[in-house]
Structure 1
Amino acid sequence: MNDTSGAPLAIDSDLYPALIQCFFIIGVGYVAGQLNLLTNTHSTGLSRYISNFALPAVVFKNLVDVQFERVSWEFIASVFIAKAFVFVLTAILSGIGERPINFASMGLYAIMASQSNDFALMLPIIDAVYKQSHPDYGRYIYLIAPISLVILNPIALLLIEIQKRLDDQKKHSKISLWHRCQLIRKVFNNISRNPIVICTLLGVIFNRIFHQHLPNILEHILTPIAQSFSSTALFYLGLTMAGKLRRLHTRLVITVFIISMIKLIMFPLVLREAIFLLVKPTNGTLNNTIDYSNFGFLYGTAPTAPSVIFYVPESNAALRAIASTGLIISTLLAGPIMVVSAKMINLRTLDIKLKQSYESTLVKTSYDVSIISLLCTIIVLIGFCLRRHLLKTSPIHKYTFIFAGLQMIHAIWTISYKTQIKYIMCNVLFISGSVLTALTTRSWAASISIALMISICYSHERARKYFWLYHLFGWLAPMFTTLVIYLQSKVDRSKGEPTLDTEKFGTIQIIASICLLASCIILTSTNLLRIARRTYRLKQNARENRSASFTTNEFQPLINDSNEYDQSQITIQSVSIDKIPLEVHSQLLRHAVLVGFLNINAFVCISVLSWSVLTKNRDGVYYELQFLDTVLLHGQGIITFLVFSLDADVLLPISRKF
């Protein structure tokens, strides 16, 4: 490990192919689902093969070969504590937020926040990152997985069954003691009959019988079945993602988004702290603890497991929609987070301490992400231009078109700065332009949230009247902030230019950016809350309307949020909402989702900037957040592309044109 010059390329050569392989297979499954190449029967058969044959074979085969005397049980205990903490916290928050209390929601949300996609997605990435430094880390996945499967998930299943009994109690007025005993028996039966639980116990038992080595006959039988798991599970994950975004509403998306943030951001941080508390230093150094904490943080960034769908009763359409949507959002968010985490572990593993090396890696990452973002924004802009009727009908689409153009300019500016940095004479002015484009994208996201709130809570006509407000905040606020930063930096130029990118203009840039970002976060969060409350109120009125005229609406689809929204607009007479095409209504949700993603982006940025002001002690978590902020800032175009193209809203008109 002394020669580190070629090691980054070696790790990247394993990491990037593993990531591309995983997400490519997911994409193939998604396309197959979108094109209806597989029926529901095929999908059910595939899921049963994965859960009853492939995954149990993987678990059994690897547990038999595990050398338990070399396992760090402190690390396993840390994972258990972190998972249990997040599980209980999510259940409590769900109970507080849901009125009336819904035990099924508490159980499902707790599973979504604590159970990771361990085997199909995380295992190949861990093997790629740690194949050279810690090849034994991959085996921990087989010991971690039973924590959720055997201990936590049964508790959630019990909560789901309790809610079913409570619903039955409303119909039958009373539930006997016998039914309560049947409930407990059913939960234990489900646990004891679970193939994964059975193979976990058998793997531990036969580990002793076979002396930690699987016989050749069994190995030849189980190996092909185990090898089929990864590709089929990833394909099935993509298959379950197909077509789900057409049936979303704001409240559902916000719920899933909060759960995903708990899973992908809060859980890794909690797990890292638990590891530092329990895993003791060896030989008087913290190297072992730091390695385990990095491994735990990377593991914590894994998205929600696809098996969460199997815990939801088929009769509960609302919870099934939340579970399937959670898989989509969690998987999409986990992609860049896992890339960033793996890159930072790469730096830690190589022991790169020079700030110049770190900054060059940061600049290269921003350059690579900006190229992808530029291509994505071009596709989005072409799609918007080919659908001019949306730009004329809805003011929101016009402002999003401007926002996508700003993202394209920011990507071009970043690429130009990287390629022309040696030939730029006015470097300070060029950096000022980079700061201006970055802040303008933040402020315009807040402007879109204002326009979206006025459109949904009042009317599109009123949203058009306040066009000056969106432009005033979207353009003037970042220009004024950048001007203050530039003028103050000229005064402080004699102090020298700091090394890190977040401090090119010194403390004044950080403070001014924090003020603008805080304003954007407050505005956007307030507007999203108003949108969620308004949408929920409209849906409640729509349900009351349907119950009053059941015979008229009995042939309507079970879940059709667009129609619910239209009906609720007609029933509420106190608010005048102008009639616009159904396509525009279905698109409004995408703008809310986009604004929500960008709000998280701003929150990560303000966390990094605040850390820079408050303390000079910067550990791996700080660099992780800074790297994540860089990817999210320069990858805004990728987020916009994903939001507006997952259901072919952008790609379809382009394909028809050409």
Structure 2
Amino acid sequence: VNSFTALHFRSVEDPDGPALSSAMTIEKLFPALLECFGIILCGYVAGRANIITPTQAKGLGNFVSKFALPALLFKNMVLLDFGDVIWSFLWSILVAKVSVFVIVCVLTLIVASPDSRYSKAGLFSIFATQSNDFALGYPIVEALYQNTYPEYLQYIYLVAPVSLMLLNPIGFAFCEIQKWKDEGNHQQTKILIAGLVVLQVLKNPIVFMVVIGIIAHFVLHQTIPAFMAEFVDGLANSFGGAALFYLGLSMVGQLRKLTRSTVVTLILLITAKLLLMPLICKDMVDLLDNSNTSSLNHSSLSNYAFLYGVFPTAPSVAIYAVYYNAELEVVTSGMVISTFLSAPIMYVSAWLLSSRWMDPQFLMNSLQSVSFNISIVSVVAMVWTIAVMILSKKFKKLPHMFTVNLFVAQFLTCIGMILWKFVVKGDSFIGQVLTFTLLCISLYSTYVWPGLIALSLVLMKNRKDTRVSPGVFVIIGWGVPTLVTAALLICGKKMSGTIDSSFFYVVFLFSWWLESVKYPHDNCLKCENRCESTDCLLVQVEELQQVADRQVARHVLLCLLLTVSLLANLSSCLWLLFNRVPGRLYLELVFFCAVANYGQGLLSFALFGLDKHLIILPFKKRLRNLWYGKKQEEQLPSDLPEDVRMTTMQFIKYHKEQCFHDIVKKRRCGRRTVVDCFLGCELVEWLQQVGLAQDCGEAVLYGIRLQQGGVLQCINQEYGFQDSRLYYLPPKSIFIPTLYSTEIPSMLLH
């Protein structure tokens, strides 16, 4: 941020003055966020490691939605004190939700294709307005307002049911209309469609239990009878942890469903949910809440409305998408991304809104401290990520060659920010100029490289590598930022304060080009293993497939996330151009830009720093060996667990012959040898087809037990069973000498 911004920080001082105390207890926010997202992470790890299968997760989800949540709603509806409710605030939130619902619905009906516009309008509108109020929102509100405004907690139980009963039925109606149009016979009448919508609403446990709770509120006089109080409390208290854990489970594998044709829609929906919704909520409270004579109370309600709008989308929206079989990819991926993006937004928002008075120098120091701290973390992440790219030899191939340049730019940006903290207060003019040059060139380069990566993916579609000239891209990626920095040094003048960078427009054109181009889905199923034998033709095929994996989906997601940060930078500059008196929300935007600029390395690490073949699979192997104490193939039959023996005996007796007949094929392994083998993904698919497993998770567990029982083994006896294109051998499979030619059969390439 430049000196102009620093001077305008003084305009952010609250008119109420520093004498007014904060309406929030910000000290408890970080532990609450850590609690919520820590439990979510535990659930994700449990699902990712297949400790809990998708089928088992459905059971937990049914308990949460049909027992724990209804009990929680019933308890709070009975105990709710309507006398403390500020109805104008409730009305303001409802108007804000209706406004966002209408905006998303109308724009979708205008832009979407006629074939699916109604289902998209219904589901997207619900996505933008239905928040995860109970599992994630309530703990955050409790941490912030329990000691200052405890009555704010009850609004959670009032806003959510009203939204479900008023807005969701409209979305369901659009989905039913789309379903009616798709059937073609038009047998359903309008009355029947309306009846289905009403039935869908009444079937929702939240709506049903809210109605029952309100009736009980007046019948029981705000008191739960003693004989049922413990029972209700037991179910209600089990909701928090179970719901967050289930949320983590439901996130597993959702980003895989994201396709290149839906990323633009996803950007717009997340923008509507995390940016448009909180702003409209805050504005509506400012306009419609005229009942509060106290400016402090009015301000706290306005801030509370903003925080409420940031709550991410509820997982139940994904259930609606599955029920109507529409837009599942967008809804599930958006739920995951919005959940994790909401955490930093809520934290920064609460921190800024909780301060009743802003000292400009304090803000400048805080901004520099945030940039410095995030840079240190990013440096560590980038060193790891660059090392992974070098050790895996991906940096020699396109587009990873360009991605490494982006990583180097991100690394140098963090180094420049760390150095700037020490030289900005010194007297060394040369040191400041050199640090400024390093920081600007590298930071501007991080703005250019995402556009170049997107352009390279466009040019390399259908494997036309000859159309991409790495030298030209490298010159553009580093040359343009160098020229811009040189112009700044020549034409600019020395100013005190930190640096604000605003050269980020080039990425948009190339990124939007990327979204309009179709890519073949040949990067979805790739091999992750290699044999110890360098002469094995199966291994050669696997290596060819690994080299061909350009990780297009990861590159697209990286460009998408970096584009969001660039939009924030653009908004920051435009805000100052058109508004000479920035407010608290501008400060939040500035802090977000700082985190986005110097925290890019964390995104790169998450997407490219955990190479499956180089990092994850060896780690899982070592962990498995430490867990069991010895290699599983050395175990005697008597040492195997009972479930492994039973599964092995059942499979050998009833299914082995048919299974191997269906999936085992002869494949070339050496120049003069073939071997009977099959792919891990083929066994997973077969187990589900014959009913031995209900989903992929159970099929993988079944395959692991078969491997432990000696029914199958990996081709190099190194890795466990996986749902992938790794080759596995049936028991006592031998190599058969043949007189085949040394060419690789074409069937091995498919």
TM over 0.5: yes
| 1:150, distance to aligned residue in structure 2 (A) | 1.2
Amino acid at match of 1:401: V
User: Are the counterparts in 1 of residues 454 and 514 from structure 2 also a CA contact under 8 Å?
Assistant: no
1:175 to 176, 187, 195: 187
2:296 to 287, 294, 297: 287
Amino acid at match of 1:529: W
**CA distance, structure 1, for counterparts of residue 166 and residue 614 of structure 2:** 44
User: Are the counterparts in 2 of residues 248 and 561 from structure 1 also a CA contact under 8 Å?
Assistant: no
**CA distance, structure 1, for counterparts of residue 228 and residue 525 of structure 2:** 56
Q: Which residue does the alignment assign to 1:144?
A: 159
**CA distance, structure 1, for counterparts of residue 298 and residue 17 of structure 2:** 23
2:63 to 49, 62, 68: 49
Q: Tell me the TM-score normalized by structure 2.
A: 0.72
2:239 is the counterpart of 1:229: yes
1:86 to 100, 106, 113: 100
The residue matched to 1:45 in structure 2 has which SS?
A: helix
Change beyond 3 A, Cα 1:588–1:27: same
- The structure with the largest alpha-carbon Rg is 2
Deviations 1:74-130 (A, max 9, x none): 221121112112122222222233223412222111111111111111221222222
Q: Where does 1:165-244 land on structure 2 (aligned, <5 Å)?
A: 165-169=180-184, 173-177=185-189, 180-244=190-254
2:410 is the counterpart of 1:407: yes
Change beyond 3 A, Cα 1:214–1:484: farther
Q: Where does 1:372-521 land on structure 2 (aligned, <5 Å)?
A: 372-388=377-393, 390-393=394-397, 395-418=398-421, 425-426=428-429, 428-429=432-433, 430-456=435-461, 459-463=464-468, 465=469, 467-490=470-493, 493=494, 497=496, 501=498, 513-514=501-502, 516-518=503-505, 520=506
Higher mean C-alpha deviation, range 214-223 or range 254-263: 214-223
**CA distance, structure 2, for counterparts of residue 657 and residue 612 of structure 1:** 54
| 1:31, distance to aligned residue in structure 2 (A) | 1.3
| 1:424, distance to aligned residue in structure 2 (A) | 6.6
Q: Which residue does the alignment assign to 1:308?
A: 317
Q: Which residue does the alignment assign to 2:700?
A: none
**CA distance, structure 2, for counterparts of residue 374 and residue 228 of structure 1:** 41
Q: Where does 1:154-173 land on structure 2 (aligned, <5 Å)?
A: 154-169=169-184, 173=185
**CA distance, structure 2, for counterparts of residue 175 and residue 646 of structure 1:** 53
Q: Which residue does the alignment assign to 1:598?
A: 562
Deviations 1:463-494 (A, max 9, x none): 2x2x233223321222222223233343xx4x
Change beyond 3 A, Cα 1:197–1:650: farther
User: Are the counterparts in 2 of residues 118 and 141 from structure 1 also a CA contact under 8 Å?
Assistant: yes
Change beyond 3 A, Cα 1:432–1:243: same
Change beyond 3 A, Cα 1:216–1:601: same
User: Are the counterparts in 2 of residues 453 and 528 from structure 1 also a CA contact under 8 Å?
Assistant: no
**CA distance, structure 1, for counterparts of residue 311 and residue 547 of structure 2:** 34
Change beyond 3 A, Cα 1:622–1:420: same
User: Are the counterparts in 2 of residues 281 and 287 from structure 1 also a CA contact under 8 Å?
Assistant: no
Q: Which residue does the alignment assign to 1:640?
A: 604
Change beyond 3 A, Cα 1:593–1:288: same
**CA distance, structure 1, for counterparts of residue 467 and residue 384 of structure 2:** 30
**CA distance, structure 1, for counterparts of residue 61 and residue 188 of structure 2:** 36
**CA distance, structure 1, for counterparts of residue 47 and residue 140 of structure 2:** 25
**CA distance, structure 1, for counterparts of residue 610 and residue 136 of structure 2:** 21
Change beyond 3 A, Cα 1:64–1:649: farther
Change beyond 3 A, Cα 1:409–1:224: farther
Q: Which residue does the alignment assign to 2:511?
A: 528
| 1:51, distance to aligned residue in structure 2 (A) | 0.9
**CA distance, structure 2, for counterparts of residue 35 and residue 337 of structure 1:** 29
Change beyond 3 A, Cα 1:228–1:411: farther
Alignment RMSD: 3.1
Change beyond 3 A, Cα 1:215–1:407: farther
| 1:432, distance to aligned residue in structure 2 (A) | 4.6
The residue matched to 1:87 in structure 2 has which SS?
A: helix
Instruction: Kindly report structure 1 stretches of 4+ aligned residues shifted beyond 4 Å.
Output: 2-5, 419-424, 560-565, 582-586, 645-651
Q: Which residue does the alignment assign to 1:130?
A: 145
2:136 is the counterpart of 1:121: yes
Change beyond 3 A, Cα 1:585–1:271: farther
Q: Where does 1:263-412 land on structure 2 (aligned, <5 Å)?
A: 263-280=273-290, 282-283=292-293, 286-314=295-323, 316=325, 319-347=327-355, 351-388=356-393, 390-393=394-397, 395-412=398-415
Q: Where does 1:611-622 land on structure 2 (aligned, <5 Å)?
A: 611-622=575-586
**CA distance, structure 2, for counterparts of residue 402 and residue 413 of structure 1:** 16
| 1:622, distance to aligned residue in structure 2 (A) | 1.0
| 1:319, distance to aligned residue in structure 2 (A) | 2.4
**CA distance, structure 1, for counterparts of residue 144 and residue 427 of structure 2:** 37
Unaligned 5+ residue runs, structure 1?
504-512, 540-559, 566-578
The residue matched to 1:517 in structure 2 has which SS?
A: coil
Change beyond 3 A, Cα 1:133–1:474: farther
2:588 to 624, 635, 638: 624
**CA distance, structure 1, for counterparts of residue 213 and residue 436 of structure 2:** 58
Higher mean C-alpha deviation, range 409-418 or range 192-201: 409-418
Change beyond 3 A, Cα 1:306–1:424: farther
**CA distance, structure 1, for counterparts of residue 289 and residue 140 of structure 2:** 23
| 1:250, distance to aligned residue in structure 2 (A) | 0.7
2:79 is the counterpart of 1:65: yes
| 1:224, distance to aligned residue in structure 2 (A) | 2.5
Change beyond 3 A, Cα 1:214–1:618: farther
| 1:167, distance to aligned residue in structure 2 (A) | 1.8
**CA distance, structure 2, for counterparts of residue 633 and residue 400 of structure 1:** 17
Amino acid at match of 1:25: I
Q: Which residue does the alignment assign to 2:3?
A: none
| 1:229, distance to aligned residue in structure 2 (A) | 1.3
User: Are the counterparts in 2 of residues 384 and 650 from structure 1 also a CA contact under 8 Å?
Assistant: no
| 1:583, distance to aligned residue in structure 2 (A) | 6.7
**CA distance, structure 1, for counterparts of residue 369 and residue 550 of structure 2:** 38
**CA distance, structure 1, for counterparts of residue 124 and residue 230 of structure 2:** 39
Amino acid at match of 1:55: L
Deviations 1:303-355 (A, max 9, x none): 11111121124572x622332212222122222222221221232xxx13211
**CA distance, structure 2, for counterparts of residue 630 and residue 215 of structure 1:** 53
Amino acid at match of 2:379: L
**CA distance, structure 2, for counterparts of residue 630 and residue 485 of structure 1:** 20
Q: Which residue does the alignment assign to 2:716?
A: none
Q: Tell me the TM-score normalized by structure 1.
A: 0.82
Work out the percentage of aligned pairs sharing the same amino acid. Answer: 31
The residue matched to 1:250 in structure 2 has which SS?
A: coil
The residue matched to 1:312 in structure 2 has which SS?
A: helix
**CA distance, structure 2, for counterparts of residue 199 and residue 641 of structure 1:** 44
2:18 is the counterpart of 1:35: no
Q: Which residue does the alignment assign to 2:110?
A: 96
Amino acid at match of 1:413: G
More helix by share: 1
| 1:616, distance to aligned residue in structure 2 (A) | 2.3
Change beyond 3 A, Cα 1:45–1:126: same
**CA distance, structure 2, for counterparts of residue 335 and residue 51 of structure 1:** 24
| 1:588, distance to aligned residue in structure 2 (A) | 0.9
Q: How many residues align?
A: 587
